[in-house]
Amino acid sequence: MTAAPDRPAGSARAYALLGGLLAGLLVFNGLLTLVLEVLFLPAYIGGTPFPITALVAAVVNILLVRAMATVVSRPAALSLPVVAWLLGFLICSTTGPGGDILLVDNWTAPLLLACGLVPAGFVLFRRTFLRPRAAVA
C-alpha cells in the first residue's frame, strides 16, 4: 500500500469552498429548472394538454439529489435542491402584483408537483433509511 499524498493545508479549505459553491449552484439549478418547467407546462399537442415537463421535473430532481450527494452526505443538505424547487413552486402558484398567476387551476399543476416531489423524495428516503450502514467495530 502506498501512503496518501501530503496535501497542503489550504487545499482542504479550497475543496470545502468548491463544494459549497457546487451545492449553491445545484440549489440554483433546482429553481431554474422549476421556472422552465412552469413556463412550458401549458404545452399542447393539437388541442390536448401535453405536460411533458412533469416527467422532466421527476428526472431532473432525481439527478439534482444524486449530484448533491457527491458534495454532502447529510439528508437535510441532500434535499436542498428539492426544497428550493418546492419553494419556487409555491411562489409560482400565488398571484403576482397584477393578479397574474403562472400555474393555472387544472390537473397539470398537481401533476407537476407530484412528479417533482415524489420520485426525489423516494430517492432521499432510500438514501437516508435503506442504505446499509457501516459496521461499527
End-to-end CA distance of the chain: give it in Å, rounded: 22
Residues in the chain: 137
Mean pLDDT of 111-121: 95
pLDDT digits (tens, 9 = 90+) for 85-106: 999 999 999 888 888 888 888 8
pTM: 0.83
Tell me what the pLDDT averaged over the chain comes to.
87
Identify the burial level of 134 via C-beta atoms within 10 angstroms of its C-beta, where 0-12 means exposed, 13-18 middle and 19 or more buried: exposed
Confidence band of 112 (pLDDT split at 50, 70, 90): very high
